[in-house]
Amino acid sequence: MREEYPRPQFEREEWLCLNGTWEFDFDDENRAGAEHWESGGHVLGRQIEVPFCFESRLSGIQDTSFHDRVFYRRRFEVPESWKGRRILLHFEAVDYRCRVFVNGRLCAEHTGGNVGFSADITDFLQEGMQTVAVAVYDPGRDETIPRGKQFWEEKSAGIWYTRTSGIWQSVWLEPVSPAHIEHVKYTPDLDADCLELEVELSQGGPELCLEVQISFQGEEVCRDRYPVLGRQVLRRRIDLAGEQIFHSAPGRCWTPEHPVLYDVTLRLLAGGKETDRLKSYFGMRKIHTKDGVTYLNNRPYYFKLVLDQGYWPDGILTAPSDQDFVQDIRLMKEMGFNGCRKHQKVEDARFLYHADHMGLLVWGEMAAPTVFTDRGAAAYTGEWLEILRRDYDHPCIVAWVPFNESWMIPQVDRDVRQQNYNLGMYHLLKGLDPTRLIVGNDGWEMTKSDICGIHDYSHGSTLEPDKQEFFSRSLRDKELLLSPAHGGKPVYAQGFSYDGAPILITECGGIRYAAAARGTWGYTSAGNEKDFLRQYEHVISSILKSDLVYGFCYTQLTDVEQETNGLLTFDRKPKCAPEKIREINGRYRNSTVAR
């Protein structure tokens, strides 16, 4: 059972995990609403282990057939010590639409399977035992909803994998006072040695004040109190500089090589009495581009990323344990990668927490629909706003990728309406989060983008020397590199052109190696370790030696079901010694210094 604290960047001491065994049933005939299953009269015929989806082995069900409507129920008790406070119920992720009932009464509704939501259930509680029920609708064949790699057909094939339906991240409770902190937003300003702090409160009032304590490696940096003055949103610019503390110095900045963090304690006081306390953290980190170069903390920085789809054999989109996140990050770093592109998935906040602390850059992406519709565009935009709100404070995230290979916007090359939507999403994300790079449409057919991200699988195998020579040559010739020759698609949509952004090969490789079963695939194949390393070295060294390219993302970290082009097997066994990959990744160019 997943029992770790689900929201580690906004942590309170008291909480109650509701993961574990729930009553469960399929509702294929859509009877739950009419028969009021939330009231407890209907006997649910199965049990499920939350937070694992019913398609997974760890759920205890492992049924991968289509069941668009499912129903959950469990009983719980509110601790006696929580009486007199407000009780919040949190769902970290439920795919796709859900209605939540407490003691038979509707208390929350949510649409969107990528990011969670909360409900104040205090007024729905009764004496003694409580019941929570969840009705979920996740249309498995609907291509208009954000679904990422979840296939809309019965069996996985190609780049499409097993679906995830219903609750797939943690469920939990916490008590809060009526006056409490609802949201915290940190915006570090490296150049000015200061932090902009924005805090949202449940209520205002002249008797309220906020105490902020910031420390670095156990040493207090600052402590101050700010009056709330009846406002529900408090903004403060906190000067972090002192006689002995210069935060723009390398030792004070967050990088993958030195992931240093500042610890924060926030206390809300009413008339001098504490009503809320939480622990948090932030990192002093800046990312920007200039003259075709990417900079981290004002120093040239070369991206060495690996594509990470975040699937597991037994949990599908849900990691079996918190340590699985740690293991994945450790293996990425051991292989010489400084970051990952989370592909078509919004990852669990626990992964981002470990990336913050262990030092791993993350490009954040979201599961996309496959077609463009008005309703789909509205839903997609809404979920992106939820992502920004949840994940803004993580220093590990340095880029947002709203679109990949024109998914959702398949006519963007020529269709002005889809081009405008693509531009609109770029400017929306840039307006709400100017602290990160926005990769407008990764792969090809770009409009506006901070990175010119090109997908190139034209490298060929060791049996295809002509292809290998062309791949290397294209990385030395800008006109060829920016042409459709290697990917079959124009790099920029009609009416748009290259504007000097840093060029990265944001998908490459995909070498199938040591596949154990028929029907598996990769972009090329290797029969043994020697051949695999020869192909890998050709791809990566060709990129590293190019003076036109400023980073890469290799496909991919792990095998996923029938796609066996990972550096690791699906169950995270390295296909060759990680130090061999690290040695190749470290050739020709220092990871933090431009050539």
- Residue 585, CA atoms < 13 Å, CB-side half-sphere: 24
Question: Would you place residue 247 in the very low, low, confident or very high pLDDT band (cuts 50, 70, 90)?
Answer: very low
Rounded Cα–Cα distance for residues 355 and 256 (Å): 9
- 246 pLDDT exceeds 60? no
- 594 pLDDT exceeds 80? no
pLDDT for 29 equals 96
> In the predicted model, what is the mean pLDDT of residues 249-267?
92
Question: Would you place residue 1 in the very low, low, confident or very high pLDDT band (cuts 50, 70, 90)?
Answer: confident
In percent, the amount of the chain with pLDDT more than 70 equals: 96
Residues 287-585: name the CATH superfamily. Answer: Glycosidases (3.20.20.80)
- 274: tokens are 């504490």
Which range is least confidently modeled, 113-117, 220-224, 548-552?
220-224
> Which pairing describes strands 171-176 and 94-95: parallel, antiparallel, or unpaired?
unpaired
pLDDT for 245 equals 45
- 259 pLDDT exceeds 70? yes
| Integer angstrom CA distances of residue 327 from 276, 299, 319, 340, 521 | 34, 29, 11, 14, 25
> In the predicted model, what is the mean pLDDT of residues 98-116?
97
Q: What is the pLDDT of residues 9-22, one digit of tens each?
A: 999 999 999 999 99
Q: Per-residue b/e over 435-470, b at no fewer than 16 CB within 10 Å?
A: bbbbbbbbbbbbbbbbbbbbbbbbbbbeeeeeebeb
Per DSSP (E only), the strands in 339-406 are 339-342, 361-365, 397-401
Do the first three CATH levels of 16-176 and 287-585 match, i.e. the same topology?
no
Nearest Cα to Cα of residue 419 among 442, 401, 383, 446: 446
Residue 240's contacts (CB-CB under 8 Å, 6 or more residues apart) are 193, 194, 195, 214, 221, 222, 247, 284
Rounded Cα–Cα distance for residues 323 and 332 (Å): 14
Which range is least confidently modeled, 204-218, 327-341, 532-546?
204-218
Where does 16-176 sit in CATH, by number?
A: 2.60.120.260
pLDDT for 250 equals 61
pLDDT for 462 equals 84
Q: Per-residue b/e over 569-586, b at no fewer than 16 CB within 10 Å?
A: bbebebbbebebbeebbe
Question: Would you place residue 588 in the very low, low, confident or very high pLDDT band (cuts 50, 70, 90)?
Answer: confident
List the Cα angle 538/542/545 in 5-degree steps.
140
Which range is least confidently modeled, 247-251, 264-268, 406-410, 533-537?
247-251
DSSP code for 38: G
> In the predicted model, what is the mean pLDDT of residues 158-179?
97
pLDDT for 232 equals 66
pLDDT for 203 equals 87
pLDDT for 102 equals 98
Q: What is the pLDDT of residues 285-340, one digit of tens each?
A: 999 999 999 999 999 999 999 999 999 999 999 999 999 999 999 999 999 999 99
pLDDT for 243 equals 38
DSSP code for 157: B
pLDDT for 231 equals 67
Pair 299, 255: CB distance under 8 Å: no
- 593 pLDDT exceeds 50? no
- 41 pLDDT exceeds 70? yes
pTM of the model: 0.96
> In the predicted model, what is the mean pLDDT of residues 159-164?
96
> In the predicted model, what is the mean pLDDT of residues 527-546?
96
Rounded Cα–Cα distance for residues 70 and 165 (Å): 8
| CATH of the structural domain 181-282, one choice from 2.60.40.10, 2.70.98.40, 3.10.129.10, 2.40.50.140 | 2.60.40.10
pLDDT for 249 equals 58
Rounded Cα–Cα distance for residues 530 and 516 (Å): 18
Domain boundaries, the chain: 16-176, 181-282, 287-585
- 498 pLDDT exceeds 70? yes
Residue 508 vs residue 592, higher pLDDT: 508
- 525 pLDDT exceeds 50? yes
